[in-house]
Chains A and B, each alone.
Chain A
Amino acid sequence: MARLAGRRALFAVPVLLVVTFGVFAIAAASPFDPVKAYAGTSALGADQQTLDRLRENLGVDQPFAARWWHWLTSALSGDLGHSGVMRQPVAQVIGERLVWSALLCAVAFAAAVLVGTLLGVLAARRPGSLVDRTVTSLAYTLEAAPVFWIALLAIWLFALQWDVLPAGGLTDTGSEQVTPGQVTSHLVLPAGVLAVSQLPWFTLYVRQGVGDALAEDPVRGARARGLSERTVLLGHALRSGLLPVLTLIGSRVPELITGALLVESVFSWPGIAAATVEAATAVDFPLLAALTTLATAAVLAGNLLADLLYGLFDPRVKLSDM
């Protein structure tokens, strides 16, 4: 297990190098002008001399490979550089925002896995029953619905019509401190919407996995031995039915990141996703590179986690063979 993790970590190094280099290359090739992005709306009234001066000061004329190398060497020595668009050190930008994004994603993900498993098992118990048909069609409907649309719908229903939950932000707009109670009440809607957007996949996969397992010999044998339906379902079917879901968990990380991006912007959630969009359109190299590294690392870690879990839960898989 440790060997697998170690090997993966070694493999991650070239991947991260390639990805960050790729980001620098794409950003350099993009039509966005870092100087205009830096100056924002005031660029639209600026004279050429000012724009040229900014270009020189920001050092955006160097070839991207040189800038990438410069970024890499200082990042390795612990200096992530300054974000031009945020006018803050990159480490500070990430420090301020990462915790909120992590909280949002973790809560949403946990909720999606739990509810998805529950619904999937309920549906798989009697394929073709009313419960199964309801759950399946609901899952397909949600799969087709865009996240931002669900988010706006949720705001309309819970915040406007019923006035039970706040419509956005991290805390009440009028309050000055971040308190656990406030964050919790503000987290419900965005996390709920993000969970709902991830739900259909899990539900359908669990339903398929458990349904297949229920038709297999071990389950038939267990039933024949007169074991209770509950033991059969939870002890036999669920255990082998959840295996495909475990691999899925890791591979859903990128989906989760893009979903979080939309949800954060609709709910004015001060997370890292909003900063990513800004960094990308502003060609803010240091911030963009750091955020990309972070996202890539998250994906790699997700995949590693899935493999480790697989090895732990599936007796047919040997970690030493991976």
Chain B
Amino acid sequence: MSTRRIRGAAVTAALAAAVTACSAPSGGSGDGKSAGSVVLGVASEPDTLSPLLGYGKDGNSKIFDGLLARDADLRLKPALAAGLPKITDGGRTYTYTLRDGVEFSDGEPLTAADVVYTYRTALDPKTNNTFKSELDAVKDVRANGDHQVVFTLKYPYAPFAARTVLPVVPEHIAGEQDPNTGSFNTKPVGTGPYVLAGWSKGEKLTFKANPRYWDGEPKVKTFTMAVIGDDNVRATRLRSGDLDGAVLPPNLAATFQGDDAKRTYEARSYDFRAVTLPTANQVTGDRAIRRALDAAVDREAMVDKILDGAGRPAYGPLPVDDPAFTEDIERAKDLGKAEKILDEAGWKPGKDGIRAKDGQRASFDLLYPSGDKVRQDHALAYASDAKKAGIDVRVESATWEVIEPRMKDDAVLAGFGSTGDPDFGLYTLLHSSLAGDGFNNMARYDNPAVDRALDDGRRGQDPAERESAYDKLQRALVQDPGYTFLTHIDHLYVLADRWEGLNTQLEPHEHGFASGPWWNIEDWQPKK
């Protein structure tokens, strides 16, 4: 009898303890929540949290820091390094001196050996990452004492410093296990402003402020990334107060216009949508056709109609907001010019209004990945603009498995865009040596003038020299547009209005997890 009572009491006590164990502030109602915790809804989660396999390689990882980081204007600033690198030996040697007193969140000090381990493992062919080729210029990395790291490059590579935002991992933990499958992938330890508190795969990741952070403990003490793949469900949960913020497509972001407690952030981006025009194809390989298409598309209308104004017309791979953008290549839709180009090149209209030359009809297939509504809309608008100039574009949706073998012959509605340096996105997109290499240079574009400009931009040490190279490149692209660049799309975020001075960076094609108004969540200040 008494034992039963004791047992009952024990169970009650345990239950009570379990219920009160919830230390986090409970969500639910949208009002009166503290500014010390944030819940964000994103569309996808990383496959791994190990930088060795690519997590946070472009910066903004909250668990880790790189040698360098980027500010709001994407300028490089020192992070784990005490200053920007010393570049010697004609741009072949980069020397970084580490900041003093940085500790990993487990209390171990950061040393040059950790940095060397990180880069050597990332470069190891046995490590299953996809970004090894981005560090292709590195010949060797070595430690010079505990506080200096020296990179030796195979060739002078001007944008190299921008690659060193790669997060640094602790050798004493990651070095003990297989980088591909070890527990570090799900239980990472870094030097960053936050530590991982929990990861329920497919549901959410929770982060807690790191009291040891070298730049001071953040004001936002906990934040959660809820993984919600469906746009509508994400918007729904934001409306119900379950989320404080979310990444949303333009049409759903517009539904929060009247909500005073929330703000919408429009992030400009490098994320472009373009049509690849394969060189091997009889029609799309023809320069007259390419130039006519470029003149016939109505970019302004695409931005207004498809993106609800949340974007910019794309006149080339670089967005109009980029400092390296050549301003005088902006061009409006000019159907008359398109027709004139085609007439002069001998593409004559046939009975059905479609042009032909030497028995070849001006007609080609345009593929887009199925399920992507924004790309579908772009593809259909493109086809209707082309038809007005007498070019027949047959739009077709397919999975990447189907698209890939057809990339060399058929046009694809592609989306790319890298931040950091013009070289990162342009070299892989346009250089003839990478034609048809995986997903690089999908159109197999081959233009000696562009190749030369890419090489000059890559190797030049003088900023003015590099700028003029990218200027030449953009002009050459207008003369022979192997891609029809359509739009740069804005990324939209809706967020509860509880913090001061939030902003967004110019964002890459990949977004939501690392970019968004939360790119610098460690700096957020609660509203007074």
Contact = CB atoms under 8 A, between A and B. Distances in A.
Interface residues of A, number: 59
A88 B186 contact: yes
Interface of A: 31-33, 36, 38-51, 53-54, 57-58, 82, 85-89, 93, 96-97, 152, 155-156, 159-160, 163, 166-170, 172-177, 179-182, 265-266, 268-270, 274-275
A153 to B, nearest CB: 12
Nearest to A40: B47
A44 B200 contact: no
Nearest to A151: B233
A234 B125 CA distance: 71
A174 B437 contact: no
B173 to A, nearest CB: 16
A45 B418 CA distance: 10
A169 B204 contact: yes
B128 A38 contact: yes
B27 A174 contact: yes
A275 B202 contact: yes
A155 B27 contact: no
12 contacts: A43-B438, A45-B130, A47-B434, A50-B132, A93-B201, A160-B239, A173-B226, A174-B224, A176-B197, A177-B22, A179-B19, A180-B19
Contacts of B1: none
Contacts of B428: 45, 47
Would you list the 9 A-B pairs with minimal beta carbon distance, nearest first?
A: A174-B27, A270-B203, A48-B438, A31-B401, A42-B130, A87-B185, A175-B24, A46-B130, A82-B181
Contacts of A166: 28, 242
Contact of A174 (B19, B24, B402): B24
A155 B239 CA distance: 12
Interface of B: 15, 18-19, 21-28, 37, 39, 47-48, 50, 53-54, 125-126, 128, 130-133, 180-181, 185-186, 197-198, 200-204, 206, 208, 222, 224, 226-230, 232-233, 236-237, 239-240, 242-243, 399-402, 416, 418, 428, 434, 437-440, 510
A275 B197 CA distance: 22
Given A49-B133, A173-B224, 13 more contacts: A38-B128, A45-B416, A49-B437, A50-B132, A51-B438, A82-B180, A87-B180, A88-B186, A152-B232, A160-B240, A174-B37, A177-B21, A266-B230
A137 to B, nearest CB: 30
B206 A176 contact: yes
Contact of A57 (B27, B180, B202): B180
A53 B125 contact: yes
B510 to A, nearest CB: 6
A179 B21 contact: yes
Given A45-B428, A89-B181, A175 B438 contact: no
Nearest to A269: B203
Highest count of chain A CB atoms <10 Å: which of B15, B28, B39, B204: B204
Nearest to B414: A44
Contacts of B128: 38, 54, 57-58
B24 A177 contact: yes
Contacts of B180: 57, 82, 87
A169 B203 contact: yes
